[in-house]
Structure 1
């Protein structure tokens, strides 16, 4: 039996939809290399929005995943998805029901409570702004202010890791390691347990860089994706990371979330 190589998932929420999207992305990783297209449909407040999503899912295919906390909207989606024979998954409903039974109380059913405007929220916003400002060695002064400093050659997921960790409220600076440019002296001055080295298999990096060149419309045989050049860069990076004495994680076959989890575990132990 031939399996479909791609599908579409509509993530419906009466808030921003981050929770639903994160769960779907985590599940989709288990089916790699199959393609799972995620369409986030946030801030659903009326049944008209649900009708639109269900009509699209019926005509174009796909399943519906939802994190609706308003009972009327949740029930409406369940009933109408059933009538249209559209597969759906209620992510929050069963969990809220079980918690309600355990706590012997009703949930508030108020959308968007995962992002209250409190001290933690503003700390997260500050961390995201920090990651943007000190991304890819734009300003090396961030090295001394950062909670975490990522180092590695180009295309080792430094930027997506910085943003992921920023959403965990960590201030992250990242420094590209290039043979033609020695890293700043201040990189050796920060505590080595704040520095995280990122390593990758040269063949894997070659594939990633070739794909990047294709995306940019450039020739795949450019120096950027040359195997010997890649090995030179990785050798240089290994020397720098050895000199710093920092921990090094191999990102070759890891999703950003998985690498971030390893980094967070390490930072927690280092404290």
Structure 2
């Protein structure tokens, strides 16, 4: 089966992450070892699982999975991210393989069925979340684990609209965050059972967050928008005495098991 040409959105995402790869790989929210350990804890993978790491970036989660004894196939749209992932994880030899491309390409199916599929901070770049989750489900074995982890947003329409507008100003490849309930629903509608979800806070520094983005507007404009919004679940900025902006965010990790029926 031949690979289809990437969509304009996929090309935009690849370009954005090629450009920000260096800062992304060092970003506190990405590298936090406690958060990565918590992700693996929630995933509850069986020993020596074969895991599809979707939107694997520079291999931060893949490295942790490999250190835990699992095998990994990672896929990402960004050539630069995949190059970094390969360098980071080369010591694990044939237990890991990284592919440049889309989840919808035929290559991931060549390694199926997987024991687990996992994505972190990927869903908010996806135009069709249901297709994204359903594709992962199709690549899982019966009883396999599907894990989605992403920043969440507010269910109130006004607050949600403002939050997503800010995110798009800072990163043109952003589509939309899900609410915690929507994240869990994606697993349920895709045929996953025993769905559970953990939501927890994390903190962003406005300058670090903005500087590694792919903005559509200048920094001072986005700063003013960030400080002007309504109370919002998932994105609560507060200006500090020194002028910096601390943003309290929420991240949800949802886990489901593929039904054997």
TM-score of the superposed pair, with normalisation by structure 2: 0.29
Question: Larger C-alpha radius of gyration, 1 or 2?
Answer: 1
Structure with more of its chain in helix, by fraction: 1
Structure with more of its chain in strand, by fraction: 2
TM-score of the superposed pair, with normalisation by structure 1: 0.28
